[in-house]
Amino acid sequence: MLDLLIKEAKLNGRLTDIGITDGHISCVLENIEEAALSVINAKGRIVVPGFIDCHMHLDKVLLNEESVYVDGTGVEKGALTFERKKMFTVENITERAELIIKRAISAGTLAIRTNVDVDASVGLKGIEALIQLREKYRGIITLQVVAFAQEGVFFDHETQVLLGQAIQMGADMIGGHSTAKGEGEKHIDFILNLAQKYNIEADFHIDESGNRNHYLLPYLAKRMNELGLVGRVNAIHCCTLSSLNQDELEEALSLIETSQLKITVAPTAISTRNLAPVKRLIEKNITVGLGSDNIRDFFNPLGSGDIKQAALLLSYVQRFFSEDEVNQVWSMVTDSGASLLGLPNFKIEKNNVANLTILDAYSPKEVIAYTSPAVVIIRSGKLIQDTLRHFII
């Protein structure tokens, strides 16, 4: 007997039954007649394992609950954040981050990669808080914790040591910010050397300003090849790609291909600069994911932790309107996002862990257009959210 049977779910465009036993998918067939302890009829609604949010700053979410948002330059917002970080506690970070994690889970998110600031102003408080939350929610949502040099590496006498300590504490990877304090190539070298030393991946905010004077992607790609880190770095933003002429862009795309650099786009960045040309990246079969980025903090007063909002925003800004283009955006928050984060066995297939999310929609286009809610959420075979059987429509 099955523990749980999902009937008539739309999987990859086809109505499908899905059987779950002992926390795993035991069968995926057009029609399953085996008895089950519990049955949910999806009635043609779309099912996915869950959504992937490739970039967030969970340690800084909801700062607008504590201070009114004041518009300003990126430098000014960074300065406000730096001063506020001095007042952070592990408890405060945990409380704010957990609220957004819960919202993300309820929206259907299965995995989040979060950058967590590490420097003398905040120490390792954010790392401690997010590692605790990672373990608390293991089996419900995957949290990848990045020890992030937001402020730079060489501006104080502590950050270099703290980054190594963060990795030893259990941070999943190391994160860099190539334009911080004008550190540029020296910063990139330090972060990549740490990644090599600890055999972990690196996550880089790079070419974030869109300014050609900050164009460091070629140097990053070159150093990845030299240090044996091909395919082990994710580049966030890459806004300067939108400022290149056609020949320069082709050269950049070639460098990305050769280094197997993965790219995360945060569509909310459109409020201050152009985004990387996502369609051109996809044409080159480059792995691309989407991220929510800042959520209700000093950089962005909006956002909720639902990555479907970012998918809708990108669709408008770069005109992902045709069926094929909608499916490309869909992949960025599902399959491609999972590949970027290195998540194994992501698909809904026999013997995989039973992670399923049923949306109140019947196609990817509907999910993106309506930012459709998750009506059923199953994680590791356990039903953690079910509003479907209470709908009277």
62 shares its domain with 121: yes
38 shares its domain with 63: no
217 shares its domain with 336: yes
Number of domains comprising the chain: 2
> Of 309, 297, 365, 287, which Cα lies nearest the Cα of 108?
309
Rounded to the nearest 10 degrees, how much is the dihedral formed by the CA atoms of 71, 77, 80, 85?
A: 130
Q: How do the pLDDT tens digits run along the chain, 393 residues long?
A: 999 999 999 999 999 999 999 999 999 999 999 999 999 999 999 999 999 999 999 999 999 888 888 888 888 888 889 899 999 999 999 999 999 999 999 999 999 999 999 999 999 999 999 999 999 999 999 999 999 999 999 999 899 999 999 999 999 999 999 989 989 999 999 999 999 999 999 999 999 988 888 899 999 999 999 999 999 999 999 999 999 999 999 999 999 999 999 999 999 999 888 999 999 999 999 999 999 999 999 999 999 999 999 999 999 999 999 999 999 999 999 999 999 999 999 999 999 999 999 999 999 999 999 999 999 999 999 999 998 765 433
235 shares its domain with 116: yes
252 shares its domain with 186: yes
Domain termination site, one of 320, 341, 362: 341
Rg (CA), the chain: 21
168 shares its domain with 277: yes
Rounded Cα distance between 25 and 382, Å, is: 12
Tell me, what's the pLDDT at 120? 95
Q: Which CATH number fits the domain that encloses residue 316?
A: 3.20.20.140
Contact 370, 357 (CB under 8 A): no
370 shares its domain with 334: no
Tell me, what's the pLDDT at 69? 83
Tell me, what's the pLDDT at 72? 82
162 shares its domain with 297: yes
96 shares its domain with 173: yes
User: For residue 376, how many other CB atoms are within 10 A of its CB?
Assistant: 23
132 shares its domain with 267: yes
Domain termination site, one of 341, 358, 382: 341
Three-state SS for 122-160 is CECHHHHHHHHHHHHCCCCCEEEEEEECCCCCCCCCCHH
Tell me, what's the pLDDT at 326? 98
Q: Which CATH number fits the domain that encloses residue 380?
A: 2.30.40.10
Tokens representing 360 are 């109140």
What is the extent of the structural domain holding 376?
Answer: 2-49+348-390
> Of 77, 145, 75, 155, which Cα lies nearest the Cα of 116?
145
Tell me, what's the pLDDT at 143? 98
117 shares its domain with 30: no
332 shares its domain with 361: no
